Structure 1
Amino acid sequence: MEAARYGPWSDLPPELLGLVLKRLPSLADRVRLRAVCHPWRSNGLLQQLPIPFPWLTLPDGTFFSIPGGEVHRMPIPDGARCCGAIDNWLFLMSSDDTCTLMNPFSKTTFELPNLVAVWRREAHYESDPKQLLYKLVTPSALDISPDSLIAALTKDGGNGTLCISQPPIATYMVQGNRKPLQHLFDVAFFDGKLYAVSVFGKLFSLKFRNNLGSKPKIKCVIESLGDCRGGPECIPREEVCTYRLYLVECGGRLLMVRRFIRHIGPLSRDYVFENMQTGGFVVLEADLGSNPCRWRRISELGALFIGQHGSKSMPARECSGSEEDCIYFICDYPHPKYFSSPFRDWCVQHAK
């Protein structure tokens, strides 16, 4: 009778397993549950579940799991380091500066142009390539193939080099201190075009011809912030803040997130970034249908996850455990050569 009352855990009915999985918003927890036994794995894959929280890429190539707060390091080949990610693809750089994308689950890899060589060719001063910040974007991150178009923004402090390629051949490079693309903050694909945002909210579109070996057509779409220059209501107008810009596609809209960073103590030449903290956000939508095109302020976002390595939007109702109109972030604004804990300034804020 006792044996009949308590069966093995592997015999847990699929409907009960689904109820458990729906209470696990963390991707890592779902993976652990499915790894218990083969029936749990096969039955778990059949469940219709809310989208799990994405992982945030940390400056050292590890990943931060929301909401569990765990730091994960994905297995990568010896001699390589992780410099970023595009959804399920890791951006790896080997000791000889060879660049690849690798899916850590299928182990599929795609070769990329040597971004360090591109940067050195375009830059006019010496710097340690290991201290550069890399962001990669594609028109469809979940459908990367050998002929996928990939744009890589390599940043060294306030400078940025944009490399647009079809692996493994680089097709177009521009240094961010040259016209027309000066002082680039971020790039994102939207509606088949690559968009780049520079200082003062100037937005450019880059349209590619059939021959990707030729230069794209660059057009300034939005000249300035216009009437959207103000900061969040929680920061007094007279207070001087540093800001960062992030581009992200959200539900058929192109958004720019302005992150305002406050000085919370005396300025120091050596530890300036340790005396700074995110004070608030302003989210703007590119109104590309108006004439002229302009930025307009919005507050209905869903869930936004922002970072210099990559940004992502998700409908809050489809993301397990997330809140409406919230922005998730970590401290990734210092230049990589300056030490700063990514958890010194991380939180989730409601958009204002």
Structure 2
Amino acid sequence: VLDFANKNTHRLRIPDDDGGPCYSAGDNMFFLHHNDGRCFVVNGFSGAATPLPELAALLQSHMVNPCDEKKSDKLDRKSYDNMKIKKVVMSSVASLPNHHRVVAVLASNCSKSRVFISTCRSAGEINSCLVMREKSTILDIAFFQGKMYANVHMFQELVAVDLRDGCLDKPTPPGVEPQVKAYTSWIWPPDLLPDMYLKDLFDDPKSDEKVEQYLVESNGKLLMVRRRFLRTGHNKLTCRFQVFEADLRDGPRLGQWKKARSLQGRALFVGTPCSKSFRACDVDGAQGDCIYFLVDHGNPLRHSAVYNMVNKTIMPLIPVSVWRSVKLTWDSQRFPAWFFPVEV
């Protein structure tokens, strides 16, 4: 772990007995997917692990298997059908004793995406279910106000499933195919946005600019952060950011994305593995109305930076002298990822 504020490094010991893949689950949590199929969520500080046996069985039944990234480029029928975990997120700490945190796993292959969720209980019944099934790529997922939201690549549609409607009240019996929960389209851009807005929201295939985007809850709002970059060889040079706020007040299929001009003094930390928003004053060294971003290619420490929403400038996340001296290897697309102490 690299402490950006103090420029120090720390080593975490995550229990891992067989070398299976480890994923960020946001905050200070990790998701372990062992080579034998077992699943756990692990606290990065205490090392406390919560087993998720029902989720493990569900993932295995949908061919979501532990992935060796170094061998995953081999194209064969088996690797084509197998699904890879793209992201793991956890809901915020439960406010009531009888409410439990929920973990969501986004998995995809070349032709489809799935979202699985499970309650995280240290003892007792673990409930898991499949909540989303798409024939298009799901770009990102986020918990927001009791719902699981997903941004679908085709038409950039925003869909949601309500997690308070009993979908986790009863576990799926062994051997029974889980039913996909009915979910709702909340924002459907082609029917609602003017042509100029669509041109700004989507990629222009003739343009050298490409885009990556992230869903993040911020101060009671659901934001879509779009990072625009130029691809030069193996590098992606970030040029600018756009932030859109989901206006969901009018109900399903009547929402729309609105441009956000300010982050209201907050700092956004975005990246493919996880994204989060904080009041700038609550994070040591953070600046308000800034987007801190990580990249998962090349030298992440060199290309990660800070974007200022006010003056539209990009500054290095850490000085050149620091990233050159830090000896960290990045041989996994699952990292780097933001890591936040629970007390933040």
Normalised to the residue count of structure 1, the TM-score between the two structures is: 0.65
Distance in 2, Cα, partners of 1:129 & 1:187: 22
The answer to whether the 8 A contact 2:80-2:109 is kept is no
Alignment of 1:181-260 (within 5 A): 182-199=136-153, 200-208=155-163, 209-212=165-168, 213=170, 215-224=180-189, 226-227=193-194, 228-229=197-198, 239-260=207-228
Give 1:100's aligned amino acid: F
Asked if the contact 1:160/1:175 (under 8 Å) is kept, the reply is yes
3-state SS of paired residue (2:207): coil
User: Does 1:66 find its partner at 2:4?
Assistant: yes
Change (3 A) 1:129 1:327: farther
Cα distance in 2, alignment partners of residues 70 and 82 from structure 1: 23
Counterpart mapping for 1:257-268 below 5 A: 257-265=225-233
| 8 Å contact kept, 1:203–1:221 | yes
> After the TM superposition, which residues 65-214 of structure 1 pair with which residues of structure 2 at under 5 Å, given as runs?
65-70=3-8, 72-77=10-15, 78-80=17-19, 81-112=21-52, 113-114=55-56, 117-120=60-63, 125-127=77-79, 132-141=84-93, 147-156=100-109, 159-167=112-120, 168-172=126-130, 174-177=132-135, 182-199=136-153, 200-208=155-163, 209-212=165-168, 213=170
Q: Give the 3 Å change call, closer, same or farther, for CA 145–120 of structure 1 in structure 2.
A: farther
Counterparts of 1:96 and 1:129 in 2: how far apart (Å)? 19
Q: 1:141 to 1:69 in 2, by over 3 A?
A: farther
The CA deviation at 1:190 is 0.9
Partner of 2:245: 285
Q: Give the drift of 1:157.
A: 6.7
Distance across 2 between alignment mates of 1:145 and 1:345: 43
Match of 1:26 in 2: none
Q: Mind listing any 5+ residue stretches in structure 2 that lack a counterpart?
A: 66-75, 121-125, 171-178, 313-344
Instruction: Tell me the secondary structure at the aligned position of residue 88 of structure 2.
Output: strand
- CA distance in structure 2 between the aligned counterparts of 1:131 and 1:72, rounded to whole angstroms: 33
**Structure 1 residues 92, 236: CA separation in 2 closer, same or farther (over 3 Å shift)?**
closer
Q: State the one-letter code of the partner of 1:183.
A: T
Looking at structure 1, the residues matched to 38 and 81 of structure 2 have their Cα atoms a distance apart, in angstroms, of 12
Secondary structure at the residue paired with 1:117?
A: helix
Distance, in Å, in 1 between the alignment partners of 2:82 and 2:131 is 20
C-alpha contact (below 8 Å) 1:331/1:346 kept by paired residues: yes
Q: Secondary structure of 2:281's match?
A: helix
Where 2:63 maps in the other structure, the secondary structure is helix
Q: 1:319 to 1:299 in 2, by over 3 A?
A: farther
The CA deviation at 1:170 is: 2.7
What SS does the corresponding residue of 1:303 show, helix, strand or coil? strand
Q: CA deviation at 1:249?
A: 0.4
- Residue pair 1:135, 1:152 contacting (<8 A) in 2 also: yes
Instruction: Summarize the Cα distance change of 1:224–1:344 in structure 2 as closer, same or farther, 3 Å threshold.
Output: farther
Contact (CA 8 Å) 2:40, 2:49: kept in 1 or not?
A: yes
Residue 328 of structure 1 and its aligned partner are, at CA, apart by: 0.8
Displacement after TM superposition at 1:153 (Å): 1.0
Change (3 A) 1:131 1:175: closer
User: Structure 1 150/201 Cα, relative in aligned 2: closer, same or farther at 3 Å?
Assistant: same
1:350 aligns with 2:308: yes
What is the deviation of 1:246? Answer: 0.7
Deviation of residue 139 (structure 1)? 2.9
More helix by share: 1
Offset at 1:323? 1.1
Please, which runs of 5 or more residues in structure 1 have no aligned partner?
A: 1-62, 266-273, 335-339
1:158 is displaced (CA, Å) by 7.9
Seen in structure 2, the aligned counterparts of structure 1 residues 121 and 79 have a Cα distance that, compared at 3 Å, is: closer
Q: 1:290 to 1:350 in 2, by over 3 A?
A: farther
Matching residue's letter, 1:138: M
- Which residue number corresponds to residue 15 of structure 1? none
Aligned pair 1:309/2:262, yes or no? Answer: no
Name the larger-Rg structure: 1
Q: Distance in 2 between matches of 1:171 and 1:89?
A: 21
Q: Residues 94 and 100 of structure 2 are in contact (CA less than 8 Å); yes or no, is this contact kept in structure 1?
A: no
Shift of 1:184: 0.5
TM-score w.r.t. the length of structure 2 is 0.67
